[in-house]
Amino acid sequence: MTAAAAFFYLFSIVMIGSAFMVIAARNPVHSVLFLILAFVNAAGLFLLLGAEFLAMIIVIVYVGAVAVLFLFVVMMLDVDFAELKQGFLQYLPVGALIGAAVLIELVLVVGAWTQAPAAIAGAGAPTPPDVSNTLALGRVLYTKYVYFFQAAGLILLTAMIGAIVLTLRHKPDVKRQVIADQNARDKSDVVLKKVPSRAGV
């Protein structure tokens, strides 16, 4: 067994085990930590495939932002997961039906999978040896798919603004800072009183 095959089996086994523990762990913080472990092992698999850009994107974006943000949200919101799990049994038949349908689809896809020579022959030309994976991906994204790339960015921006609007709550009893009122003040709005030296107010 070569070193690449050994690392492939190592990353795959750890990733599958951590993905199972994401849904099996009782503590949501442990689930997020297992999710981070799954992302790191997926990045290792991408490195074995020679896609170093995708590996770094998974580590930087998903591990560094999404998973850590989710971890902070879970820790700060203090969600009562016992209350959320009370209505679990009423959705169990529908969930089991959907899970069975997905399982049947996966079995059909894996069982009927064949390699098409025509698809391989019609594939695009491989990346030239003097062009890195990141450079080739950047050329494709910013030339052929630039409009789709910008549209995806706008959709993500809209989702982020929507999440902020939905979760932002203004409490009526909390005093908030108004910058415009502070800048508009002058000396007449402020009560000034001269106090003699060594004397109280």
What pTM value is reported for the model?
A: 0.56
Beta-carbon contacts of residue 52 (< 8 Å; ≥ 6 apart): 46, 133, 134
The pLDDT-based confidence of 179 (bands split at 50, 70, 90) is confident
**68-117, pLDDT tens digit by residue?**
777 777 766 666 666 666 666 777 888 889 989 999 998 888 887 776 66
Q: Which two tokens stand for residue 199?
A: 């004397």
Q: Give me the pLDDT at residue 57, please.
A: 87
Give the C-alpha separation, 42 to 17, whole Å: 12
Tell me the mean pLDDT in the region 120-149: 76
Q: Give me the pLDDT at residue 58, please.
A: 87
Phi-psi region of 170 (alpha: psi -120 to 50; beta: other; left: phi over 0): beta
On the 0-12 / 13-18 / 19+ scale of CB atoms within 10 A, 12 is middle
Backbone phi and psi for residue 102, each to the nearest 5 degrees, phi listed first = -65, -40
The pLDDT-based confidence of 192 (bands split at 50, 70, 90) is low
Q: Is the Cβ–Cβ distance between 8 and 45 less than 8 Å?
A: yes
Note the CATH number of domain 1-79: 1.20.120.1200
**14-50, pLDDT tens digit by residue?**
999 999 998 888 777 788 889 889 999 999 999 888 8
Give the C-alpha separation, 34 to 28, whole Å: 10
Q: Which of 78, 74, 4 has its CA nearest to residue 35?
A: 74
Q: Give me the pLDDT at residue 64, please.
A: 80
| Angle at which helices 28-49 and 3-24 cross, to 10° | 160
